[in-house]
A and B are shown apart, each in its own frame.
Chain A
Amino acid sequence: MDISSFMAGLSIAVQPINIIWIILGGFLGTIVGMLPGLGPATAVAVLIPITFGMDPVSAIILMAAIYYGAMYGGSRSSILLNTPGDGSAIAATFDGYPMAKKGQAGQALAISAIASFIGGLIAVIGFVFLAEPLAAFALEFGPAEYFLLMLLTLSAIVALSVGKMVKGFLAMMIGLALSTVGIDTQTGVYRFTMGIPQLSEGIDFLIVIIGVYAIGEVLYNFLNIDDQKKEKKKVGKVWFSKDQWKRSRWPILRSGPIGFLVGVLPGAGGSIASMIGYTTEKQISKKPEEFGEGAPEGLAAPESANNAASVGAMIPLLTMGIPGSGTTAVMLGALIMLGLRPGPLLFQQQPETAWALINSMFLGNIALVIINILLVGVLVKVLDTPAKILYPMIVLLAFIGTYTLSYSTIDFFLLLIFGLFGLMMKVLDIPIAPLVLALIVGVDMEQNFRMAVLSSNGSLGVFFQSGVSITLLILTILSLFYPLIIKLVKRKSDKLSDDEQVYKSS
């Protein structure tokens, strides 16, 4: 690290105009991110015209702020309405929504804001000290390693549906099957597109997310819409309790680095990071049965991880000019328009620009945690809106959000189909997350597998060649069988303690 460029960067970042951009971008990003279907990539893309004519440094600062804002905002709707705005906010529904249902919406929002903040900070610190070695590490990931990483993610998420494994696997397979729609990248063959050009690039997972979560949730709530009493719902305090903090503290600190590392890998991103953060916490938790029922650590971990991942995703962008995620790809395009080309030469030729951005991330996270905590009080009011008025509004927002994805009404029909699909899954108690995650990673998983096999001329040994791939394999096996192992160990120790009791009483 180069102290003088660091200071030069800091002095650019704290210029009043840039501080204003940070706050404005963070705020706009949070708001846009809250809308169903509008995740960070869309948020940055639709707000690009604002950056036209701006100084490139301010522009990158603004875009980064929008990005993080959208990451913060995405989980707001997950927690309050069970409708994530993006893949990386899915994990926040697992425990965030149950918390809101239990009347702890305020606490949940506060925990998620703080967790995001700390996760972001950990990642920024990691960025400052580890950017270069990590960029080199990310290059080690070839097709085989990517395939195994995705396999790990899927197995971890299926393992979450303990007790309904068959349904979990089925959901995952449906997701994988949906991911095969579209052009087959390796050969250019069109698969299952039924002649609809809009399907040639595949089914956008965001439509599925909006459909199964937002529309599905509304339809599902119709089951008892007339029974809901008029009494005001409890939203809880806008700050969390000491006990909740104690439970969340370590998960936040553990998930931050995990999310950061996953984020650095091009193509992995927030969805995988938050899911791995969540499952890791669940598996090492002493009370795994509370996960999914509103455990604060189950919300804190993925929130910390996905925000850290969004910082990590900036590393390949800034050090190599390689966009690691949809959002950074959009940012790269906009920066090139403005005449700033991130790449290996950026740190050499314009170090102050790079460091200005890194410093702005510090400031941005501080601004965002304040904005989001101030917003808690306002946001929980959403729950005061009578359900019968709220639901039509959510349906409408879902439609508009879908329209912004590809400006085509064909997507509306998909949206409705997946809405009904979501309803059915909820009624039959089929887990939804494996389906969505499988759809998100499915294409890359298949293509990377085939590329790996192709590049090794047909040998499967390629999956056992590197240290990284062996580690990933072990983790995958662990994630699938860990619950079983735990059960066995518990049974043994239960027996032991039973024996002890017998011994004592005798």
Chain B
Amino acid sequence: MKKLVSVALISLLFIMAGCSGSASGNDEYPSGNLEIVAPASPGGGWDLTARSLEKVLTDEGLVEQNINVVNKPGGGGEVGWKYLKQKDAHTLSVNSSLLLTNNLLGQSELTYEDFTPIATLATEWQALAVPADSEYETASEFMEATKNNPTDIKVGVGPGLGNDDHLSLVQAASEYGINPSDLNFLVYEGGGDVVTALLGGHVDAVTTSLSEVKDQHQAGKLRILAVSSDKPVEGIEDVPTWKQEGIDMVFPHWRGIMGPPDMTEEQIAYWDEKLGNMVETEQWQTVLDNNDWEGFYKNSEETEQFMKEQHDLYETLVKDSGLVE
């Protein structure tokens, strides 16, 4: 009987602990536990970004409050961002260009203006790659061939049209004078599948994030024709940028963080300070290195401006791609 009573007591305690978590009302921000929404399943890119943030902010003692990562996958970020929209300033969410494209493609009502920009944190670059034995030695050769006969050249992309992998080539093509809606894309389930298809010679070229193909290029299993960065990337200096190939574009595949609508200036300033310090830490540098990301920090004000520019760019790209009329 004694055991029973203690079991009951303990569970009561748990219940009480569970209920008291949401208490708030203090003026000081943050006044309670913080939440970072990963709008994806555990193990995915957004999840890992959120967890890295949590880890660095906590380990470096930048934020004293508890930070929890909450997974809200679904709808290419839609579910998680809807959830964020109805939260208070203690919840933030990881984001990327999908925030813009979901809306531009007519798949979501949410726009970037529904949220408070906090920061842009890091970027990856896009790459165009061909098999090692491909007849195309340079990006210009590839573009020329595509221009002459767009249907014959199959380009692998994944996991869906309208993402940065797809749109980066759309931009390159339209800069070169090719109508991007003529490009012949085969859409694979994920970035890995695209690389398999290329290595097996099932597609003529792929457009994907650089990290998916960098090692393969170094091992000589395939050839990267161009990267979307502003200057050649460390480790693969032999690969030219699009600019060097005469196509005027720099295409970042950025990741950032944002908050719910209507955050106060103090709250935004809090994050500007914390994240500004965080990106200077060595631990964050390691996170960037491990993921093949590049630092791309912009504070809230710069991010707001950046988002506007990006929105206009993506609006054009989505239209050019032929995905919407």
Contacts and interface: CB of A to CB of B under 8 A. Distances in A.
Between A188, A267, A405, the greatest number of chain B beta carbons within 10 A of the residue's beta carbon is seen for A188
Contacts of A406: 41, 71-74, 79
Contact of A188 (B43, B108, B160): B160
Contacts of A143: 186, 202
Nearest 9 pairs of A and B residues by beta carbon? A197-B75, A330-B43, A139-B200, A45-B42, A343-B215, A344-B219, A142-B202, A339-B290, A197-B78
B237 interface: no
A138 interface: yes
A341 B44 CA distance: 15
A16 interface: no
A337 interface: yes
B316 to A, nearest CB: 18
Interface of B: 41-45, 47-48, 51-52, 55, 70-76, 78-79, 82, 105, 107-108, 151, 154, 159-162, 184, 186-190, 192-193, 195-197, 199-203, 211, 215-216, 218-219, 221, 286-287, 289-292, 323
Contact of B189 (A267, A336, A337, A338): A267
Interface in A332-349: 332-334, 336-339, 341, 343-345, 348
Contacts of A408: 72, 74, 79
Nearest to A316: B196
B215 A345 contact: yes
B323 A138 contact: no
Contact of B215 (A49, A321, A330, A337): A321
B52 A337 contact: yes
Given A329-B43, A343-B215, A345-B219, A322 B192 contact: yes
Interface in A173-206: 183, 185-188, 190, 197-198, 200-201
Contacts of A451: 186-188
Contacts of B71: 406-407
B158 to A, nearest CB: 8
A190 B160 CA distance: 12
Contacts of B73: 201, 406-407
Contacts of B161: 187-188
Contact of A339 (B159, B188, B196, B289): B289
A150 to B, nearest CB: 13
Between B43, B79, B160, B193, the greatest number of chain A beta carbons within 10 A of the residue's beta carbon is seen for B43
Contacts of A475: none
A143 B72 CA distance: 32
Given A266-B196, A341-B290, 8 more contacts: A48-B51, A138-B200, A139-B199, A141-B200, A187-B161, A320-B199, A322-B195, A329-B192
A120 interface: no
Given A141-B200, A200-B75, A323-B192, A45 B82 contact: no
Given A333-B43, A344-B215, A447-B187, A320 B195 contact: yes
